[in-house]
Amino acid sequence: MQSSVRGQAMAAEIGEQPAVFDRVLSEGAPAVAAVAAEVARRAPRFVLLTARGTSDNAALYGKYLLEILLELPVGLTSPSTTTVYGARPALSDCLVIAVSQSGGSPDLIESTRVARECGALTLAVTNAPDSALARAAELHLDVLAGPELSVPATKTYTAQLLTLYLLADYWRGGRGEAARELPALAADLLDRDDEIGALAHRYRFPDRMVTTARGYAYPTAREAALKIMETSYIAAHAFSGADLLHGPLAMVDSKVPVIAIVPAGAGGLALRPVLDRLTEQAADLCVIGSPEAITRGAVGFGLPGGVPEEVSPMLEILPLQLLAYEIAVGRGLDPDTPRSLAKVTETH
Q: Which of residues 185-224 bind a copy of itself (CB under 8 A)?
A: 207-208, 214-215, 218
Task: Please report, for residues 24, 67, 140, 205, 295, the alpha-carbon distance to residue 37 in angstroms, rounded to integers and kept in the order given.
Answer: 17, 18, 13, 50, 43
Nearer to a copy of itself, 24 or 164 (CB): 164
Binding of residue 279 to a copy of itself (CB under 8 A): no
Q: Which of residues 105-134 bind a copy of itself (CB under 8 A)?
A: 107
Is 88 a binder of a copy of itself (CB under 8 A)? yes
User: Which of the ranges 28-36, 191-199, 273-281, 292-300 carries the binding residues for a copy of itself, by CB under 8 A?
Assistant: 273-281
For residue 344, what is the DSSP state? S
How many angstroms separate the CA atoms of 187 and 293, rounded? 22
Instruction: Pick between residue 41 and residue 339 the one whose CB is nearest to a copy of itself.
Output: 339
Q: Is 73 in the site for a copy of itself (CB under 8 A)?
A: yes
Q: Give the residue, chosen from 30, 173, 247, 332, that forms a contact with a copy of itself under the rule CB under 8 A.
A: 247
Q: Which of residues 53-72 bind a copy of itself (CB under 8 A)?
A: 53-54, 56, 63-64, 67-68, 71-72
- Under rule CB under 8 A, residue 181 binds a copy of itself: no
Residue number with CB closer to a copy of itself (26 or 347): 347
Q: Which of 174, 277, 299, 331 binds a copy of itself (CB under 8 A)?
A: 277
3-state secondary structure of 236: strand
252 is a site residue for a copy of itself (CB under 8 A): yes
Buried b / exposed e across 287-314, counting CB within 10 Å, b at 16+?
Answer: bbbbeebbebbebbbbbbeebebbbbbb
Cβ within 8 Å of residue 278, ≥6 positions away: 252, 258, 260, 285
CB atoms within 10 A of CB 116: 16
Burial class (CB in 10 A: 0-12, 13-18, 19+), 188: middle
> Does the protein bind a copy of itself through residue 37 (CB under 8 A)?
no
**Beta-carbon contacts of residue 189 (< 8 Å; ≥ 6 apart):** 303, 304, 315, 318, 319
CA dist 237 and 226 (Å) reads: 8
Q: Which residues sit opposite 48 in a β-bridge?
A: 75, 96
**Binder to a copy of itself among 250, 254, 306, 332 (CB under 8 A)?**
250
229 binds a copy of itself (CB under 8 A): yes
Interface pick for a copy of itself out of 234, 259, 262, 287 (rule CB under 8 A): 234
User: Quick one: which of 27, 93, 117, 292 contacts a copy of itself (CB under 8 A)?
Assistant: 93
